[in-house]
Structure 1
Amino acid sequence: MKKLSKLIGVAFLAAILFFATDVKAQTTPAKAFVLSLGVESGLPTGVAKLGTNFSLGGTARLQYGVTNDLAITFTAGGYHFFPKKIPGQDRRYQSYGELPIKAGVKEFFLPNIYVGGEIGVAFEKLEGPDWGPHRLDLSPNLGYATKHWDFGIHYDYLTHKEDHLGIFALRVAYGFGL
């Protein structure tokens, strides 16, 4: 299983490099807006790991190029946590979602390679009409972006009082200028 995961990672990286070799510009030129729509798949950490082992979601990210290497970002979307079966029972844990709203920065330190960070709030949506607590959302990220595609990994650290959880996720997004 470990070798298969490494093989998939290497294949994914090779595909990114293969499709993006003709790109010559950064993804966010100075004084320009880019909107990207992404699909995210992640693995929960912390207390989220107790009742779920997979998350899937989508986000929209608006970014403004301050310079050719620095962008300001605003991200909103949602993650759904798929529940595990309760051990020894025929039922599953309750499913829930997190709806993040974040602002941050994205810095290109090499052509097409960026590091970034976002801070915001995430609202927990429980099954039915109920809402859970809102949480502080801290999210460092690292990625590879072309003129239209953005492949990034990030960790969302969600905290509320003594309740801490996280998502280690991969975001694949398509962006276009506004």
Structure 2
Amino acid sequence: MKITSTKLIAATVLAMFFVNNSAKAQSLPESKLKFGIGLDGILPVGNLTNTANFGLGLTPRLQYGVSENVAVTFTTGIYHFFTKEIRIPSGLPGQYNTMENKLDLIPVKAGVKSFVSSNVYFSGEIGVALQVDNGGGGSQFIASPGVGYAGDKWDLGVRYENLSKTGSNSAGFIGLRLAYGFGL
């Protein structure tokens, strides 16, 4: 069964609004700011597996509590992918030239965290990924549903991040983010 990213994002948004509206307090009080630095493990899926094995990310996030169980987020940072070597036919029978493919992206995302209990949340983010390697200049749309557990200082979340570009196939990855945060 193939689930499109649009359906996955829609299901996450619905879950954020309809699951457990009676959530108690969260790790970020209403009208308060929190800043966190995250380390991301990245596992490519779909078309991204053709060029990358895995990746690491460093993602600062600013979070603002808008109600008792909802926070808005702004996330940026860098994703570095450890890419596969690409073999290109040289024109001679049985001989190839190799090329190292580089892929580094800067995500710029805004999102929402909806707490369904005091520490468990659903999240959704959208934004853009700016390509900074190979001369840069490229950008891709990001849509990212996720779930996680946030305590007073630590936040552990998992998400699917869909990367799509006009006129090309979309790619994506599963990200695991461990972050340390503090109030501002």
Q: Into which bin does the TM-score normalised by the smaller protein fall?
A: 0.7 to 0.9
Give 2:82's aligned amino acid.
F
Q: Is the partner of 2:139 in helix, strand or coil?
A: strand
Rounded to whole Å, the distance in 2 between the matches of 1:57 and 1:141 is: 16
Partner of 1:66: 66
**Would the aligned equivalents of 1:58 and 1:77 in 2 still touch at CA under 8 Å?**
yes
Partner of 2:159: 154
**Would the aligned equivalents of 1:25 and 1:147 in 2 still touch at CA under 8 Å?**
no
**Would the aligned equivalents of 1:135 and 1:159 in 2 still touch at CA under 8 Å?**
yes
Determine if the alignment matches structure 1 residue 133 to structure 2 residue 138: yes
Partner of 1:122: 129
Q: Is the partner of 2:77 in helix, strand or coil?
A: strand
Q: CA deviation at 1:25?
A: 5.3
Identity %: 42
Residues matched between the structures, number: 153
Counterpart mapping for 1:38-53 below 5 A: 38-53=38-53
Partner of 1:11: none
Partner of 2:112: 105
Determine if the alignment matches structure 1 residue 176 to structure 2 residue 182: yes
**Would the aligned equivalents of 1:133 and 1:160 in 2 still touch at CA under 8 Å?**
no
**Would the aligned equivalents of 1:74 and 1:104 in 2 still touch at CA under 8 Å?**
yes
Q: Is the partner of 1:48 in helix, strand or coil?
A: helix
| Structure 1 residues 92 and 52, CA gap change in structure 2 (3 angstroms) | farther
**Would the aligned equivalents of 2:26 and 2:117 in 1 still touch at CA under 8 Å?**
no
Q: Is the partner of 1:131 in helix, strand or coil?
A: coil
Rounded to whole Å, the distance in 2 between the matches of 1:68 and 1:48 is: 38
Rounded to whole Å, the distance in 2 between the matches of 1:67 and 1:57 is: 29
Q: Is the partner of 2:49 in helix, strand or coil?
A: helix
Moved more, 88-97 or 165-174: 88-97
> Aligned Cα RMSD in Å?
1.9
Rounded to whole Å, the distance in 2 between the matches of 1:125 and 1:150 is: 28
Counterpart mapping for 1:5-84 below 5 A: 26-84=26-84
Rounded to whole Å, the distance in 1 between the matches of 2:96 and 2:154 is: 43
Q: CA deviation at 1:135?
A: 0.8
**Would the aligned equivalents of 1:84 and 1:92 in 2 still touch at CA under 8 Å?**
no
Give 1:55's aligned amino acid.
G
Q: Is the partner of 1:126 in helix, strand or coil?
A: coil
Deviations 1:64-121 (A, max 9, x none): 0011211011111110010123469684531211111011100000220000100111
Q: Gaps spanning 5+ residues in structure 1: where?
A: 1-23
**Would the aligned equivalents of 2:83 and 2:100 in 1 still touch at CA under 8 Å?**
yes
